């Protein structure tokens, strides 16, 4: 395919890179990648081993030692050039995202646009790495704080956003003076290789140090384990399941490292009796079936006031019956495949559990076969009636399953239902009542890291900090002041007088 050739994807690719040089043994474990769209073989990757990893991390650390001396606005110019390269390759990279991961072509292009947007944001941020000044209690003293580069930042990304999440971390870290080490999902390594190839022209143009943007594709038990235990990596940003994040966080904190964790989501939309249903329907359906329900911010639960429940139920049924399922390369289709057959099995298991616990499937649930569905990864999105306390509803199933949950009384009851899960990523309310909206956003409202009014749970602009609370992990990526996580904070006090007064008026004479 033309887009594979343009992005430098070969039939067999090495899995470790320092930006310009590729490493790997011809005898290494080979990872074969098949498209979930049609089941066809795309390419293979020779996975990195520990020897490769040691070469990569050494180069990444050496690159940091140089990069931290470069003025931040100059770093921003490099990121600007990366954004320009992504613009040139938006069509091809977007197509590869779709072909390897299975999301719609519009979403594939949108993901690359998100990379471009974060580059633009980071360029501006390179001139705004602000500290603060404080008044000292001591005469002829000045106090301020400032931020310094942190070191090698490792990004462990997930298959569902194979390139965008890397860019949130790598571009902000780059303007902060850090180097970046990337371990992509083993399910979507080709997009990461393509990004490394895109970066190569910028690295040559600016004569950047080898290792500034590095890549290691390998098994979690070897490469992943090395990353989370390596003291040369002060910050690990990890996107994945809660179970994986919990284990990784323990090992990172044991060595006093820092982590940004973007883990499970169990996101809900509340529809009050004052909701504008015409506005809400597209948000609900896109949130539930977009990316085949494989977004961290996908809508899992719909909490509906009893007075409008019958109408909402019928409207959603009508919308789902009109969904077009098929190849995401065809822009007329709404729903593409799950990432692999293992995800299909998780989908099926979740429905079995739902029925056992008393839930009712009112639409969908079939695994689709036949013409156009040859990969075995296509399913019909599900609408189910359930209760929030069900065990399966309390968990995140990475598939297009939407649980309808009825509530009575005022919006306080709906918020209580929404918050009564262990995850806390994204949340939404649809209402035309200002009091309901403000209560949802109040201290006693949504306990999620993202809370929206009259828009859905799925999707986020890069200008805001992205992340969640509770078992979603904590920490923030992307916009706002998330840049501070990629730097170390330092408080400075300068005595420009001739005496040495101590703080708190302490007297000490010698």
Catalytically active residues, by annotation: 262, 296
Contacts of 165 (CB under 8 A, 6+ apart): 155, 157, 158, 239, 262, 477
List, as one string, the DSSP characters of 126-180: TT-----EE--SSTTEEEEEEEEE--EEEEE--SSSTTHHHHHHHHHHHHHT-EE
Which tokens go with 386?
């359930």
Contacts of 221 (CB under 8 A, 6+ apart): none
* Spatial distance between the Cα atoms of 141 and 442, rounded to a whole number of angstroms: 40
Q: What distance in Å separates the CA atoms of residue 381 and residue 275, rounded to the nearest whole number?
A: 24
Contact criterion met (CB below 8 Å) for 132 and 145? yes
Q: 412 Cβ partners below 8 Å, 6+ apart?
A: 439
Q: Which of 176, 181, 188 is nearest to 36 (CA)?
A: 188
Burial (CB count <10 Å: 0-12, 13-18, 19+), residue 358:
exposed
In which region does residue 326 sit, left (phi positive, over 0), alpha (psi from -120 to 50) or beta (all else)? left
List, in sequence order, every beta strand (DSSP E) within 29-128: 30-34, 41-46
And the tokens for 326? 């098929």
* DSSP β-bridge partners for residue 478: 465
């Amino acid at each position: 395919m033309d887009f594979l050739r343009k992005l430098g994807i070969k039939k067999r690719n090495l899995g470790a890179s320092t930006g310009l040089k590729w490493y790997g043994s011809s005898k290494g474990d080979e990872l074969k990648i098949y498209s979930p769209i049609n089941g066809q073989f795309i390419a293979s990757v020779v996975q990195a081993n520990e020897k490769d990893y040691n070469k990569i991390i050494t180069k990444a650390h050496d690159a940091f030692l140089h990069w931290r001396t470069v003025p931040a606005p100059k770093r921003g110019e490099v990121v600007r050039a990366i954004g320009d390269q992504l613009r040139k390759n938006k069509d091809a990279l977007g197509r590869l995202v779709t072909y390897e991961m299975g999301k719609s072509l519009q979403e594939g292009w949108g993901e690359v646009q998100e990379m471009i947007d974060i580059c633009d944001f980071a360029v501006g941020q390179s001139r705004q790495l602000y500290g603060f000044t404080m008044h000292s209690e001591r005469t002829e003293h000045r106090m301020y704080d400032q931020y310094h580069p942190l070191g090698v930042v490792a990004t462990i990304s997930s298959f569902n956003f194979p390139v965008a999440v890397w860019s949130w971390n790598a571009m902000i870290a780059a303007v902060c003076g850090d180097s970046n080490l990337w371990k992509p999902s083993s399910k979507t390594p080709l997009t990461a290789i393509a990004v490394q190839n895109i970066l190569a022209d910028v690295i040559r143009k600016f004569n950047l140090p080898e290792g500034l943007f590095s890549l290691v594709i390998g098994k979690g038990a070897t490469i992943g384990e090395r990353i989370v235990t390596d003291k040369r990596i002060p910050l690990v940003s990890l996107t994945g399941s809660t179970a994986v994040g919990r284990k990784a966080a323990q090992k990172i904190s044991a060595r006093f490292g820092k982590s940004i964790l973007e883990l499970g989501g169990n996101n809900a939309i509340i529809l009050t009796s004052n909701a504008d249903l015409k506005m809400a329907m597209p948000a609900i359906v896109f949130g539930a079936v977009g990316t085949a329900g494989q977004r961290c911010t996908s809508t899992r639960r719909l909490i509906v006031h009893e007075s409008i429940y019958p109408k909402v139920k019928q409207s959603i049924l009508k919308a789902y019956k009109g969904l077009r399922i098929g190849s995401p390369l065809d822009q007329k289709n709404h729903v593409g495949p799950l990432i692999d057959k293992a995800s299909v099995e998780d989908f099926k298991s979740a429905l079995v559990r739902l029925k056992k616990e008393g839930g009712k499937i009112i639409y969908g649930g079939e695994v689709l076969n036949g013409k156009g569905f040859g990969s075995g990864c296509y399913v019909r999105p599900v609408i189910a009636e359930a209760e929030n306390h069900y065990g399966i509803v309390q968990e995140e199933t990475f598939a297009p399953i939407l649980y309808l949950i009825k509530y009575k009384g005022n919006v306080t009851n709906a918020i209580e239902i929404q918050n009564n899960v262990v995850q806390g990523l994204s949340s939404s309310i649809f209402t035309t009542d200002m009091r309901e909206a403000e209560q949802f956003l109040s201290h006693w409202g949504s306990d999620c890291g993202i809370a929206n009014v009259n828009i859905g749970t799925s999707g986020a602009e890069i200008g805001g900090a992205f992340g969640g609370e509770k078992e979603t992990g904590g920490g923030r990526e992307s916009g706002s002041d998330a840049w501070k996580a990629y730097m170390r904070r330092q408080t400075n006090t300068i005595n420009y007088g001739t005496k040495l007064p101590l703080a708190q008026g302490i007297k000490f004479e010698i």
